[in-house]
A and B are shown apart, each in its own frame.
Chain A
Amino acid sequence: GENVEQHPSTLSVQEGDSAVIKCTYSDSASNYFPWYKQELGKGPQLIIDIRSNVGEKKDQRIAVTLNKTAKHFSLHITETQPEDSAVYFCAASKYNFNKFYFGSGTKLNVKP
């Protein structure tokens, strides 16, 4: 089965700096990679996703890059704000399969 590893487990940045979270996956057949943000007391919320036919996707201050050859994908948050503080999860899945494999999470702390 798929194994998704996520680093770092905690990340502390100053407001306005950039934050990068990295994930690797083991199954080369995985082709869908969503990222989730979980705030305290809430369920994970989708913030951005990328499919394997695309190398990069951007949505305002958030971007995701995918390297299929190396089997890794990264989340980039620019101009961080205190409200970006949360736990972030990466995940991997395959089309026509209903199973998502999650990374272990990164706790991001943005200091004002």
Chain B
Amino acid sequence: DTAVSQTPKYLVTQMGNDKSIKCEQNLGHDTMYWYKQDSKKFLKIMFSYNNKELIINETVPNRFSPKSPDKAHLNLHINSLELGDSAVYFCASSQGQGGSPLHFGNGTRLTVT
């Protein structure tokens, strides 16, 4: 059973479009995250939710909007896509306390043309 699953795995779209990426975890974790990995492999946190509440909101354009309907799901909606949004987006989850590691999904490769 996949612990953290995100869909789709690949997303190719044109500039200006709106797209969503979905994430689900079956680990019973309280905290979920979105990370962006650029072409140089650098991992940068975007958002974090704890029990459906936003707790981390890094300097991310307003075009990016996370939504957590329940603590097992964290979706990412992106409006008006730009070329610079092309990257791999990773969903992750953790217990969120006392030195608990992140568990990552396998990523969504977004290509904006």
The answer on a CB contact under 8 Å between B102 and A99 is: no
B35-50 contacts to A (CB < 8 Å):
40-45, 48, 50
Chain A residues, Cβ within 8 Å of B97: 95-96
Q: Mark A68-112, 1 if CB is under 8 A from B, else 0.
A: 000000000000000000010101010110111010110100000
By CB atoms of chain B within 10 A, which of A36, A87, A95, A100 has the most?
Answer: A100
CA distance A104 to B104 in the complex (A): 17
**Is B105 on the interface with A (CB-CB < 8 A)?**
yes
Interface size bracket, B side: 20 to 34
Count: A-B pairs, CB below 8 Å: 61
Assuming A41-B106, A44-B43, A87-B41, is B101 touching A98 (CB within 8 A)? no
Report, as a range, how many residues of chain A touch the other chain: 20 to 34
Which residues of chain B (58-113) have a CB below 8 Å from chain A? Answer: 90, 92, 94, 96-99, 101-107
Cα A3 to Cα B107 in complex, Å, equals: 24
B interface secondary structure, majority: strand
- Residues of A contacting B107 in the complex (Cβ-Cβ under 8 angstroms): 41-43
CB distance from B7 to the nearest CB of A (A): 13
Interface residue? B12 (CB, 8 A): no
Contact B103 A99 (CB under 8 A): no
Residue pair A98, B48 in contact (C-beta under 8 Å): yes
Contact: B106 with A98, CB < 8 Å? no
Contacts of A91 in B (CB 8 A): 102
B-contacting 9-mer, from A21-29, A45-53, A58-66: A45-53
B interface vs A, CB < 8 Å?
4, 31, 33, 40-45, 48, 50, 55-56, 90, 92, 94, 96-99, 101-107
**CB-based closest 8 A-B pairs:** A43-B104, A32-B99, A102-B43, A105-B41, A46-B101, A43-B106, A34-B101, A44-B104
Can you list 16 A-B contacts (CB < 8 A)? A34-B101, A34-B102, A36-B104, A42-B107, A43-B92, A89-B43, A95-B97, A98-B31, A99-B45, A100-B45, A100-B102, A102-B43, A104-B40, A104-B41, A105-B41, A107-B41
